[in-house]
Amino acid sequence: MRRLGAALGVEAMSIYHHVPGKAALLDGLVATVLARLPLPEATPIGWEDAVRRGFSDFRRLLLAHPALFTLIASRPPTEPESLAPVARAFAILEAAGFDRRDATTAWDTLLAYTFGFVLCEISGVGEATRGAPMLVLLEEHPDPEFAALRAAHLVADEWDADAEFARGLEVVLTGLRASLAPTAS
């Protein structure tokens, strides 16, 4: 709070006239960022397109604020602005025919996939495991246990985060679609 006060040119204690404490300040920061997230409608585009759009927008929002990634990923939603995207996702999933337990599993899976992918993007791990540098490393280790990895990298395209995210999201959607009751899909 002292650093924030210094950055704002005020005494740290004066901040407490506006927020009750550090936790409320952090929750407000997360809510402010998440309030910028467009909320997709399931109709008329359908639940899968709504999920694609919603989680792609969420990924872009996280990438636009990489310094806040850990904060957003580690704080449960407590403000209406941070609860709204969660509520919309559950409404879309339930409207698609997921029961409450399966909607929760779908949400957890989509959220974990998106957070994990964005973490790989922010850290550079995703790009670092693709392309020529990785092939050079694998060629330095001709051990048989690396054969499948080496073969996969020989046919892998250069890292394209947007395409990779979309491909992975399609895999998740395929699994979710398969888990729906036949009459709900």
Domains and CATH numbers, the chain: 2-179 (1.10.357.10)
pLDDT of residue 14: 76
Helix axes 47-64, 100-123, angle to 10 degrees: 30
Pull the structure tokens for residue 76: 């449960």
pTM of the model: 0.83
* More confident call, 158 vs 52: 52
Q: How far is CA 50 from CA 38, 76, 119, 175, in A?
A: 11, 22, 23, 16
Pull the structure tokens for residue 126: 């995703």
At 180, phi and psi to the nearest 5? -70, 150
pLDDT digits (tens, 9 = 90+) for 1-37: 677 667 778 777 777 777 778 888 888 889 989 999 9
In this model, does residue 44 exceed pLDDT 70? Answer: no
Q: Which amino acid is at 182?
A: P
pLDDT of residue 4: 66
- Residue 168: is it exposed, middle or buried by C-beta count within 10 angstroms (0-12/13-18/19+)? middle
Helix axes 22-34, 80-96, angle to 10 degrees: 50
In this model, does residue 125 exceed pLDDT 90? Answer: no
Q: Decide: 110 and 40 in contact? Cβ < 8 Å.
A: no
